[in-house]
Structure 1
C-alpha cells in the first residue's frame, strides 16, 4: 500500500473514532519499544528483518524524525515480544539487541554528536540468552541496568543482570540474581526493570511449586546486590506451561513501586506487599508507565490495543494492533504498537 494512501486512511480513521490521534512511525516494521529521556524527548527502536531502526521526537510525540538504521545484526531476535530495547539518560541513548544464538549487544548514541558506537557485548558468556528476552532502564548520571533470562551454568533459565556506569560503553561482570529451586524460571516471559536513585527493581515470572507468578527483586546499591524475590499479589496461577507474558514495573512516586501483569485471562496491578487489583478481563502483553498523574497500562486483546489512563479506569481501545509499549512524560505518556499496516504511536493524557 502506498505511504500516502496509508496515511490518508489512518487520518480518516482518526476523524471517525473517539481514540486519541495516532502517528504513523513506519509503514513497515515490527515490535517497537519507546522510552522518554530527561530532555522530555521520545525515543523509539524497532526492527525490520535484521535491521535495527531508531527514531525520536523532540516535541513530546507529535512528530518524529526519519528513522535511521543503527545496525544490521544477523539473526536479529524479532518475534513474540523478543525485540530490541531502549533507554535514555541525559548524555546517551542505549539500545540492546539479541541475536538468535543468544548474545546481547549494546549500541550507544552520543547525544552531542548523534553518532552510534559499533556493537558492544553485554553478555559475558556466549549463547546464554537463547530465549531472546532482555530489559534495560536508565539510572542516575549515565548509569544503566540490564536484566535478561540466561542459561549459563546449568542450561536452566535464570535471572541475570549487569550494569554500566559510562552510558553502556562498558559493562560489569554478569551476575546471577535468581535461580528457581525447582529448576528454570518461566523461560518465555520477559523480565522488566525500573530504577529510582540507587534502587533497582526487577520483575520476572517465576516457576515455583507449580505456579507461574510474578516476583520482584530489589537492590538498594545500584544493582550490585539484590535481596530475595518477593511474590506479587495474593492469588496464584497454577500452570503447566509458559504464558509468554512478563508484565511491567514502574516507579509511581518516590518509594512507591507499581507493577502490572496478567494472570490467566485477567490484567492486574499491584504494589509490593499489597493485594492485586483487577483492571481488565481478557488480554495479554501488558506494559506499564507511571508519572505524577498516575498509571498508564496498555495491553492487547481481541486484535486491538487497549489502555487505562489516570482518572479513566475503563479500558479504551486505541485501535487494531498488538505488542504495545508505553513510556511516561511529565503529564502524559506515549504508546507505540504494531499493526498489519505499520507502526503507530499516540499520546495518552
Structure 2
C-alpha cells in the first residue's frame, strides 16, 4: 500500500528505470486533489514517503509519468491547463510546474507524454472544437514548441495517447462523431511537425475507447476497450503494426467472461505486457487487475492471469517494465494505491546456426595441449546473417571459453561475411574422446544461437 492515508487516492501511473520505480497518483489527503509522487530505489521492495508535486496549484488529476535515464517527466491536468514538471536527479527534486496548453484555449486532461532520443512529445485535448494538440520539446523539457493540431476535423475527440520511436511520432485518440466512438490513429515521420490523415483502427459499431499506445523500432502497438463483441461483454483489443504504422492486425487478448476495461501497455525488449480491470466471476461493483504477456513482440499472448483477488474494486491497473522486472499499480476501491512486482521469465529456443571449426581444414584436428588458438566461423546462410551476432556473448567448448578475437570475413567464398572468432585452445576444455564441439551465444537482439561441428582430438594415444 503506497498511499496508506485516510484520503481518496486515484489515477495511479507508474514508470521504472533499472531498479528505480516511480509512482504518481491524485490524492486529496492534503485537503484538495494534488499529485503525489513516491519512488523506490530497490526494485519496488520499499518506497520513500510521498512527495507533493503540484503543491496546491488547483484541482490536479490524471497524472502521467515517464523516465529517460536520470530524467523523470510528469504531466497532469488542473481543469483548464496541462501542467508539466521534470526531475534531472532520479526524483530527488523537481522543477516548478509550467503550463503546456497556453495559446490553444482550455487544455484538458487526460494528457499523455512520450520520450525518444532526447525529445518529449505531449498530447492533450483543447480548443473550441475539442481537437487533439501536440507540443514537442527538443531539450529534455527545458522548453516546448508551439502546439500542433493533430486531429484538425469537425468531430469531437478526447483521451489522446502518444508514442515515439526515432523521428516517428504516433498518436491515437477517441473519436466521437455521432454517439458512436472509435479509436483513430495518425503518425508523423518528421518529428511531429506534420501528421498524416487519421485512420480508424477500431472501425466497428460499438463503443471503442480508452486507447493506449507504445512503439519500439518499426513496431507500433495499440490497445483499447471495445464493446463490439458476440458475448456482450467489453473486451481488450490489441492492434499490432510491424511497418511503422502503415498497416495493423487486430486481436481480442482478454476474451474473458466479464467486462474488461481500462487497459494499459508496457514494452521491454521483445516482451509486451497489457494490464486491465476485469469483472470476471465477481459480483456487481467489484473488479480485479489482470495482465497478459507476450514474448514475441505481440505476435501472440499468454493466457491472462489475475494479479490477486482483493475484495472490492481494483481499478485502472498500470503496468511498466524495466530490465527483467514487471511492475503493476492500481487504485483499490478509490481509497489506496496498491503495487505488485514480478520477474520476466521466458524460454526461447536457440537458433541453430552453421559453424566451421578451423575453416578450410579437415578433419578439424585439435590438440588439447596446444598453446595456440582455435578459429571458429559462424556462417552466414540464406536464413541467418552472422553479422547480427554479439561476439561478447559467444562461448565455445565444454568450459564455455570466451573469444579472444573476432572479425567478419568470407571464409567459404560465397560472397557473404561470416563471423570468425578465436578461442585459446587450453581454455575450451576440449579433451580426448570428444568428437564434436559446440558454440553458444546471442545475437545483438538477445536471441540465443547454438551450433556444433565435428572435431578430431589428437594425439590421445594410450
Task: Give the TM-score of the pair, scaled to structure 2.
Answer: 0.56
Map 1:1-349; keep pairs closer than 5 Å: 19-28=47-56, 29-37=60-68, 39-72=69-102, 73-78=104-109, 83-99=110-126, 101-111=129-139, 114-129=142-157, 132-139=158-165, 141-152=166-177, 156-180=180-204, 183-187=205-209, 190-207=210-227, 208-209=229-230, 210-227=232-249, 229-237=250-258, 245-254=261-270, 256-264=271-279, 265-271=287-293, 272-281=300-309, 282-302=313-333, 303-310=335-342
In 1, Cα distance between the equivalents of 2:237 and 2:148?
Answer: 30
In 2, Cα distance between the equivalents of 1:149 and 1:64?
Answer: 32
In 2, Cα distance between the equivalents of 1:305 and 1:142?
Answer: 36
The offset of 1:68, in angstroms, is: 1.6
Q: 1:293 to 1:22 in 2, by over 3 A?
A: farther
Moved over 6 A (4+): none
Q: 1:301 to 1:112 in 2, by over 3 A?
A: closer
Give unpaired runs (5+ residues) of structure 2: 1-29, 31-35, 38-45, 280-286, 294-299, 345-462
The alignment covers a number of residue pairs equal to 279
Partner of 1:31, secondary structure, is strand
**Contact 1:186 / 1:212 at 8 angstroms: preserved in 2?**
no
Q: 1:94 to 1:113 in 2, by over 3 A?
A: closer
Q: 1:220 to 1:75 in 2, by over 3 A?
A: same
The C-alpha deviation readout for 1:167-212, integer Å capped at 9, x for no partner, is 22221211112212xx13344xx11111121011111111122120
**Contact 1:44 / 1:54 at 8 angstroms: preserved in 2?**
yes
**Contact 1:213 / 1:236 at 8 angstroms: preserved in 2?**
no
The C-alpha deviation readout for 1:236-272, integer Å capped at 9, x for no partner, is 325xxxx8x4221111332x21110011111111124
In 2, Cα distance between the equivalents of 1:25 and 1:70?
Answer: 16
Task: Give the TM-score of the pair, scaled to structure 1.
Answer: 0.73
In 2, Cα distance between the equivalents of 1:101 and 1:296?
Answer: 37
Q: Over the residues paired in the alignment, what is the CA RMSD in angstroms?
A: 2.6
**Contact 1:23 / 1:63 at 8 angstroms: preserved in 2?**
no
**Contact 2:241 / 2:248 at 8 angstroms: preserved in 1?**
yes
Q: 1:112 to 1:252 in 2, by over 3 A?
A: closer
Partner of 1:71, secondary structure, is coil
**Contact 1:84 / 1:96 at 8 angstroms: preserved in 2?**
yes
The offset of 1:23, in angstroms, is: 2.3
In 2, Cα distance between the equivalents of 1:310 and 1:257?
Answer: 14
Q: 1:116 to 1:246 in 2, by over 3 A?
A: same
Partner of 1:118, secondary structure, is coil
Partner of 2:63, secondary structure, is strand
In 2, Cα distance between the equivalents of 1:115 and 1:252?
Answer: 29
In 2, Cα distance between the equivalents of 1:172 and 1:36?
Answer: 28
**Contact 2:81 / 2:108 at 8 angstroms: preserved in 1?**
no
In 1, Cα distance between the equivalents of 2:181 and 2:99?
Answer: 31
The C-alpha deviation readout for 1:21-42, integer Å capped at 9, x for no partner, is 32221123222111123x4411
**Contact 2:237 / 2:254 at 8 angstroms: preserved in 1?**
no
Which sits farther off after the overlay, 264-273 or 110-119? 110-119
**Contact 1:124 / 1:174 at 8 angstroms: preserved in 2?**
no
In 1, Cα distance between the equivalents of 2:274 and 2:92?
Answer: 28
The offset of 1:76, in angstroms, is: 3.0
Larger radius of gyration: 2
Partner of 2:94, secondary structure, is coil
**Higher RCO (Cα < 8 Å, 6 or more apart):** 1
Partner of 1:56, secondary structure, is strand
